[in-house]
Every structure is written in structure tokens, then in C-alpha cells.
Amino acid sequence: MTNPNAFNRTSAITKTMFKPFETMKNTLTALLLLALCLAVVPAAQAQLQTPSAVQDAPVALVGGTIHTISGDVIENGTIVFENGVITAIGTNVNLPAGTRQEDVSGKHIYPGLIDAWSQMGIYEIGAVDMTTDINEQGPVNPNAMVERAFNPESRWIGVGRSAGVLTSVTTPGGGLVSGQSAAMKMDGWAWDEMTLKSGVGLIVNWPSPNNQNNYTNQIRALREAFADARAYKKAREAMQNGNAPHHDFDSRWNAMKPVFDGERPVVVNANEVRQIQDAITWSEEEDVRLIILGGRDAHLVTDHLVRKSIPVIVTTVLSSPNRNWESYDSRYALPSLLADAGVQFAIAGGPSAPYANRLPFEAGAAAAYGLDVDEAVKALTLYPAQILGLSNRIGALETGLDATLLVTDGNPIEYATQVEQVYIQGRKSDLNDMHRQLYRKYREKVDQWQAGRE
């Protein structure tokens, strides 16, 4: 991720990668490391997915059931998009000249799902350190721009895309202030082409209150970081207005100006009651816009959240309770409890990129434990778009929004549903992901075995 020392850090990493092969005298160890590197390459090549071309003609999907999410369901409808944007939607639609029509009768059309908390593009193989770039060095890195580290060749992009996840809010981790998340399109050749929105939120990891001394010190450090950033902003503005001498540019504090101007929310990773309450108090003192990420105990402070208009991005619904006295279904039922209390919320699974394809089932579990099915779908589409400032581009099917959508044979949060095609800004994306390739390979093995028995 980008920071002032990025070039030097990259050089250091490069030297570190090759140094073992220059200095190791143990031939067996060197061969084992080389074998590991070679093993990684074929796995990456196995994806064999080519980014789709930019839409070059109008496309109309005709005859499907269109779930607009923000409005009514349209039976036997038509949706038209051109240059990556939805231009018409309804039952009686005039098609532009040269429109390519695709019959989707009997199918369902939904907005693309949004993974509101993910390590997509910055995490590949847990056992190979050089394939992960989640954390920056040091505790405070507000200038870390995660999209600059995004790997467009990640195998997990295709796997998530085939499950209907068409936008990933890739999020840095580590430290006290991790950096800035970015909304990434799940198709494209390079990070800049795939960036839907940079600086979606400033990520703060609220300290754990289990150790009181450490908790107090970390809260103090967070307050000091924000105080330094405010002082920097004030000094730079005074300099620019001619009321103060030159003040050196600082990329860390400069990156926090949109937070103080109200243009960018602070996304605070907090789960316990005390963390959530203290984060709310802190955000009011700092006068910043707050989003709670995690929110495991959010159902215990719903009145507070509603009164302060603070949204919650619920993470990992498919999980066991953390306390012995909690009911087995406490995590499954959390979204339903928030919805009943009137808390604005969205659902995200765990951040691991390999498990992004499980995101629909996080909402499905919530629907099985009290959450209205339509609300569960909105929790993966419209609601995260609204919470994260993306609703002017994605999250629903309306004219003027991006043509980022999926064609399915049923509700995308149901296990049995198959995603048959996806479009990302009008691009018809390749669904030949690694999982499907391996399925076909071993399906052939079974077929050959059965043929041999006959």
C-alpha cells in the first residue's frame, strides 16, 4: 500500500526475496523453497480468466424478473445498459439501434453483491508471506491507499465474482489506524481500472479493553494522532491563505483532511459494548462521521445507535457465540435484532479473500434466523452502498446507475441458487473461475472411472 517509504520498502522486499538464494549453503533448503515458489505459479495460472472488454454496444436483457431492490419487482421485464450504465428498465422499453438482446426468460436479475469488508486483492496464500499485503509498518497509517496494493491477478477475484460478489470494499488491517479502504470492481486489467471509489473510509481498530493500561495508552495515542492531523490541517490552510509561514507536506496527516471535512467516514472496528460506546463518544468529541464495523454486541446498544444515526456493518454471521452464556444463534440473529430496532446495517462475512464466495450465505443464515428475506438481500446490496457512499453507482437497479448486476436462477442468498452470468459496468464477465475448472477436471475423473466399470 502507498506510503512515503513505499519505494524503499519495495526495494527492501526485493532484496529480501533474493537474499536467501544468495546466502543459503544448505542445498536441500534452497530446493524446497524453489519448489514452493514453483508450486505457487501453476495455481495462479490455473485461473485462466481474461478481463472482459469494455461494453461497445447497447445490451438488453429481456424477459427476466428484475429485482430493482430500491423499488418494485418487475416481472417479464427488460433492462437496457449502454457504456456501462443502465439507460432503461421496465416492461415496455424502446431499444436503441444496434442493441444486442439476450433472452433471460425464467431468470432473475439482481444488483451485484457488495462485500463491505474484505482482503480481496491483498491476500492470496496465508502460508506465503509475500502474497499478503494487509498491514503497514507502524501503528498509524492513514495515508495507506489499499487500491495501490491490489492484485488484479488474484485467483479469488474470479471465485467471488462467480458467487455474485461484484464489488469488494478492500480493507487494510493492522495497527491503530490501518489506512483507507477502497471499493474495487471485480473485473479489470489493473488496479486503477478496477477502482470504483478510493478512500471509502478511514479504518480505525478500536483497542481491546481487556488490559486497562494498554487500553488507556492506545486511546491516548489515537487522540494524539487526530490532534496532530487537525493541527497540520490548520497550519497548511493558514499557509495557503498567506497567514502563516511554509509548513512541510505530510502525507499521513494530509490524508485525514477529508475525514475532518465530513467527506469520508471513520470505520471503527469494534465488537464489545464498551468498545462501541467509547467509539461513539470519541467520534462525537472529534466531530467525525462514524461507522461501526463488526458490532457483535450492537444489539445491546441499539437505542444509542439509532439516536446517534450510526450504521453497523455486521461481520461474520456464520459464527459461534463468544460467551458461554449466549444462545447458540446469537450471531445468526444479530441482523434481525438490529433491523427490528431500526438500526441501519449491512452484512459482511469474514474478510478472508478465499471465503468471499460465502458472502451470500452470511445473509442467508440471517434470513433463516428472523431477518426478512428482502432485507437480507438489501443487506448485501442497497444498504452497504448507502452506508459507504456508493449508492450513486451501485446497490440497486435504476437508470443512471452502473450496470453491475447478476443473472440467476433464484434468490442469490439461497444455497441452491446458481449465478449464470454477471455484468460489471456492462462488461460480460468470465465465470470460468478456479473452482469451476477443478470441478470439471475431477468430474471428468469420475466419468472416466464410471465408464471403465461399464
Report pLDDT digits (tens) over 183-229.
999 999 999 999 999 999 999 999 999 989 999 999 999 999 999 99
Say whether 113-120+137-394 and 48-109+402-454 share the same fold: no
- In this prediction, residue 3 carries a pLDDT of 54
Indicate the residue type of 292.
Answer: I
- In this prediction, residue 48 carries a pLDDT of 60
**All 3 cell numbers of residue 316?**
461474520
**pLDDT-derived band at 29, boundaries 50, 70, 90:** very low
**CATH says 113-120+137-394 is which class?**
alpha beta
Gap between the Cα atoms of 290 and 265, Å rounded: 6
Indicate the residue type of 172.
Answer: P
Q: Quick check: 45 pLDDT over 90?
A: no
**pLDDT-derived band at 2, boundaries 50, 70, 90:** low
- In this prediction, residue 375 carries a pLDDT of 98
- In this prediction, residue 43 carries a pLDDT of 44
122 Cβ contact partners less than 8 Å away, ≥ 6 residues apart: 1, 132, 133, 134, 146, 149, 150, 151, 170, 172, 353
Query: What is the number of other CB atoms lying within 10 angstroms of the CB of residue 155?
Result: 22
Under CATH, which number does the domain 48-109+402-454 receive? 2.30.40.10
**pLDDT-derived band at 50, boundaries 50, 70, 90:** confident
**All 3 cell numbers of residue 364?**
442467508
- Give the residue extent of every domain in the chain: 1-45, 48-109+402-454, 113-120+137-394
14 Cβ contact partners less than 8 Å away, ≥ 6 residues apart: none
Give which of 186, 259, 274 is closest to 225, Cα–Cα: 259
**pLDDT-derived band at 49, boundaries 50, 70, 90:** confident
**pLDDT tens digits, 374-420:** 999 999 999 999 999 999 999 999 999 999 999 999 999 999 999 99
DSSP letter string, 215-229: HHHHHHHHHHHHHHH
In the chain, pLDDT over 90 holds for what percent of residues?
84
